[in-house]
Amino acid sequence: GESVGLHLPTLSVQEGDNSIINCAYSNSASDYFIWYKQESGKGPQFIIDIRSNMDKRQGQRVTVLLNKTVKHLSLQIAATQPGDSAVYFCAENMKGSNYKLTFGKGTLLTVNP
């Protein structure tokens, strides 16, 4: 089965609120994690990544948190905008796997105006 999964398949928020999308992984050998955003009919778009030697990384309006103790990854989006509406996937890469990524099931984020 999949080693990466998501707690919530859908998330609906109001414009301007902060969004938190969660992801659980089971492979303790994974050392690199990426969040992707996919809009309908398009390819995944890189948002932010984090390596296993870090527990937090910030980008523009986004923050990724990694908790290796409980194998949990989260993506925080500040001041969510309608343009943030999309499916968000977490992906993990296991060291030595020749850069292969394993994707989670995805969370559909809907931003209400």
Partner 1 sequence: GAVVSQHPSRVICKSGTSVKIECRSLDFQATTMFWYRQFPKKSLMLMATSNEGSKATYEQGVEKDKFLINHASLTLSTLTVTSAHPEDSSFYICSASPRTGGVTDTQYFGPGTRLTVL
- The residue type at 101: L
Q: Which of 94, 108, 80 is nearest to 14 (CA)?
A: 80
Interface residues with partner 1 (CB under 8 A) are 2, 32, 34, 36, 41-46, 49, 89, 93, 98-106
Closer residue to partner 1 (CB): 53 or 69: 53
- Residue 16: CB minimum distance to partner 1, A: 28
- Residue 79: CB minimum distance to partner 1, A: 25
Q: Which of 9, 8, 10, 26 is nearest to 102 (CA)?
A: 26
Altogether, the residues listed in the chain come to a count of 113
Closer residue to partner 1 (CB): 77 or 104: 104
